[in-house]
Structure 1
Amino acid sequence: MSNMFLSVSYLGELIAFATTLSWTIGIFPFTEAARRMGPNPVNHFRLVMAVILLTVISILFLPISTIQLFTSPLPQHWLWFGLSGIIGLAMGDYLAFTSFAILGPRIGSIFITLSPTAALFAGYFLIGERINFIGVIGILITIAGVIWLTLSRSAQALMLDHEYGNVKKGIIYGALSAICNGTGVVLANKGFTYQQNHMDLPFFQATWIRMVAATLIVFLITIVRGKLKTITKPIIQNKNNGFIYTLGGTIFGPVVGVSLSMLAISLLHNKPSVAQTIFSLIPVFVLPLSYLFYKEKITLKAILGALIAITGVVILIWRTELLQFLF
């Protein structure tokens, strides 16, 4: 019985870890796609594919019709999940794709560690989230561990793939993407908090709303700027098989990853910083995949950094129990 209670109590954290793994896998094909077709076309194309896939899956597996996909959510659902999609997916992911294309997955992923801080500040203003000093220590330990393992490479690593763009731009865009993603998590949590007091909305449908809102806003901006042809040309040409890489990234990122993230956030009631801290472990998950795909050597510093980062997550998750134990 105690094992069952433990699994139920920390189901949100387990789903958050599964989310992190899925997103990590998606980083690699998205990085390759962004380098082949450009970050902006990839961002547009993967949103369209994600909406199509999520719509088909929702119609097949959710007890709702196509019309109900649009009509069953309340206006507040469209507001909060829509804003979450616009800030987290439309803005945040475009910035992230640019950063990954310039700096590479391993260096670019360091900036994800800024997301918990963004989530904590946004959560304070939007949902009144509180966190004790032990939780803050956990966040700081996690960030320190991930930064250490990510920067354990030589200084020349920061100049990796310089031909893909300006390194300073990659750094700035990486930091801004983390802020957008952290804020997007809190806005999604706001939507789930609202529905707990009014009506239940399937987490998969919440994902669909985020994708629809993000898709509409990026294409609206592109059309207003007169850049639609510029965006669609690399996609139609399928430059260097960018289509296949984008499809692979879309499955693991917007479809599986984002859906799992919505489930995790819905389970982690009023604790978006916990979810975002677990999501920020992507650089830890990147290590073995970098070895698998790029044959990058895993050093002792990298292993120690990963252990430190995971320790920080454990402290954050158990912060209330630790506070009671210590005091």
Structure 2
Amino acid sequence: MEFPYHLCLLPSAFFMSFQGEIAALSAACLWAIASVVYGRLGERIPPLQLNLMKGIVAIALLLLTIVLSSELFPSIAPIPLYLILLSGVVGIGFGDTVFFASINSLGTRRALLMGTLAPPMTAIGAMIFLQEQLNLSAWCGILLTILGVAWVVTERTPEGRGTQGEGGEGGQGSNFSSSSSRVTANLWRGIGFGVLAAVANAVGALFSRAAFAQSVMNPLWAALLRLSAGVLILLIFTFSKSILKSLLYRQSPGRQVLESPSENLFSIAEARQSRVLVAIIFAAFCGTYLGIWLQQIALKFTVAGVASTLLQTSPVFIIPIGMWLGEKVTWRAIAGVIIAITGVGLLFYLK
């Protein structure tokens, strides 16, 4: 009996056919893990500083990978190069900063939910500017995935009900009203940051897709260029802000320059603490180094709308992470995962 060697080729053929989709799902899983870590770090580190630090760590890791793999700098035409740099400025420099701010205001689950606004924005933008087309099954898959993800992350948890009920027993009406107003203001602030992050994500994806459409670019170099542009704009903003504050202080020596309380929570000395440093390196390795690299592979090998949808399935991966951390998972959460996976199946098999 002859051994069926052709069966050994099936996994490889499947991977080659859907390498963009697989890369997107892998990136989403890593971002879910990293988002949990960033949520903890965000309690001590302001969003801009956190984004800058994780970007620097990821750049160092990418440079090390390029040196070890002997990857030469690709020959890129000016327009695709500008597009990939703009993608980094918008998607990483601005987008990740407001995403971290959204996590601080909404929590990881809600912040990830806001990210599901990016796929329809990306798909519509790709149709208008990149002349990409999605068939009916792809649109159904996108819609089903978004609905499943949204159903998972919008579930009211016991913790959320407890937060809403604080001050309800034994507290004064004025204190409850004041607390409720603060919660509402914080919610809308987080929603605003989440919408901005989704817009930045969509625009960054379109810039990356346009760059890949006009040139042959290694995803590793694309990730490094995007990160470098994002970190550079953050450095420029940070130094400009520092210089402006210094000038204001000199002009008004009798007054202190007002700063957000969160900007004083973190210092270089704290960054040297082993736990904080290890957490930053781990999150940057998973969410930025590997995540953005896989994101570029996804955007290169599949259309922008599909890639962006799969890249936003991070909330689905929060479910097993929550189970591992000892959180209670309800039937609604499980049903939402099934709906989202069904949508992913439509993208895979009816592509």
Aligned residue number for residue 263 of structure 1: 297
2:344 is aligned with 1:313: yes
**TM-score where L is the length of structure 2:** 0.80
The aligned amino acid for 1:17 is L
Which amino acid in the other structure matches residue 183 of structure 1?
V
Indicate whether 1:19 and 2:53 are aligned. Answer: no
Q: 1:224 aligns with which of 236, 240, 261?
A: 240
The 10-residue stretch of structure 1 (173-182 or 232-241) with the greater mean CA deviation from structure 2: 232-241
Distance apart, 1:114 and its partner CA? 1.0
8 Å CA contact 1:34, 1:101 repeated in 2: yes
1:181 aligned partner: 201
Q: CA deviation at 1:155?
A: 8.3
Structure 1's 289 and 170: CA in aligned 2 closer, same or farther, altered over 3 A? same
Task: Give the corresponding residue for 2:54.
Answer: 46
d(CA) in 1 for partners of 2:70 and 2:299?
20
Once the two structures are TM-superposed, the CA of residue 30 in structure 1 deviates from its matched residue by 1.2
Q: Is 1:238–2:254 an aligned residue pair? A: no
- Provide the identity percentage: 26
Other structure's SS at 2:101 match: helix
Q: Is the 8 A contact 1:36 1:242 kept in 2?
A: no
Match of 2:119 among 116, 120, 134: 116
The answer to whether the aligner puts 1:76 opposite 2:79 as a matched pair is yes
Deviations 1:16-38 (A, max 9, x none): 11111111111111111111112
Gap regions ≥5 residues in structure 1? 321-327
1:252 aligns with 2:280: no
Does the C-alpha gap of structure 1 residues 235 and 207 become closer, same or farther in structure 2, counting only changes over 3 Å?
Answer: farther
Q: Residue 63 of structure 2 corresponds to which residue in structure 1?
A: 55
Q: Residue 234 of structure 1: SS of its match in structure 2? A: coil
Once residues 76 and 138 of structure 1 are traced to their aligned partners in structure 2, the CA distance between those partners, rounded to angstroms, is 33
Matched, 1:296 2:327: yes
Structure 2 unpaired stretches of 5+: 1-5, 167-181, 247-258
Q: Deviations over 1:158-178 (max 9, x none)?
A: 858988x82211121112212
Higher deviation after alignment, 203-212 or 308-317: 308-317
Deviations 1:279-299 (A, max 9, x none): 111100011112323x22111
Q: Does the C-alpha gap of structure 1 residues 36 and 5 become closer, same or farther in structure 2, counting only changes over 3 Å?
A: same
For 1:317 and 1:272, how far apart are their aligned partners in 2? 15
Q: In structure 2, which of residues 173, 177, 189 is the aligned counterpart of residue 169 of structure 1?
A: 189
Q: Cα deviations across residues 151-194 of structure 1 (Å, max 9, x unaligned)?
A: 2224862858988x822111211122122112212211111111
CA distance in 1 between counterparts of 2:105 and 2:227 reads 25
Residue in 2 aligned with 1:190? 210
Aligned counterparts of 1:247 and 1:63: Cα–Cα separation in 2: 24
* 1:266 CA drift (Å): 1.4
Residues 28 and 119 (structure 1), Cα distance of their counterparts in 2 relative to 1, 3 Å cut:
same
CA contact (8 A) 1:106 1:287 kept: no
Q: Is contact 2:46–2:265 with CA below 8 Å preserved after alignment?
A: no
Q: Which residue of 1 aligns with 2:110?
A: 107
Cα displacement string for residues 1-48 of structure 1 (whole angstroms, at most 9, x for unaligned residues):
572433321122112111111111111111111111121110111112
Amino acid at match of 2:337: A
Distance 1:54 1:316 in 2: 30
Q: What is the distance in 1 between the residues matched to 2:68 and 2:201?
A: 29
Residue in structure 2 matched with residue 274 of structure 1 by the alignment:
306
1:136 corresponds to which of 120, 139, 154 = 139
Identify the residue that residue 325 of structure 1 maps to in structure 2.
Answer: none
* 1:63 counterpart SS class: coil
Aligned with residue 208 of structure 1, among 215, 221, 224 = 224
Aligned mates of 1:25, 1:211 — CA distance in 2: 20
The count of residues paired between Structure 1 and Structure 2 equals: 307
Within 2, Cα distance between the matches of 1:235 and 1:33?
Answer: 13
Larger deviation, residues 182-191 vs 165-174: 165-174
Matched, 1:157 2:160: yes
Structure 2 CA distance for partners of 1:62 and 1:233, relative to 1, 3 Å: farther
Aligned residue type for 2:220: F
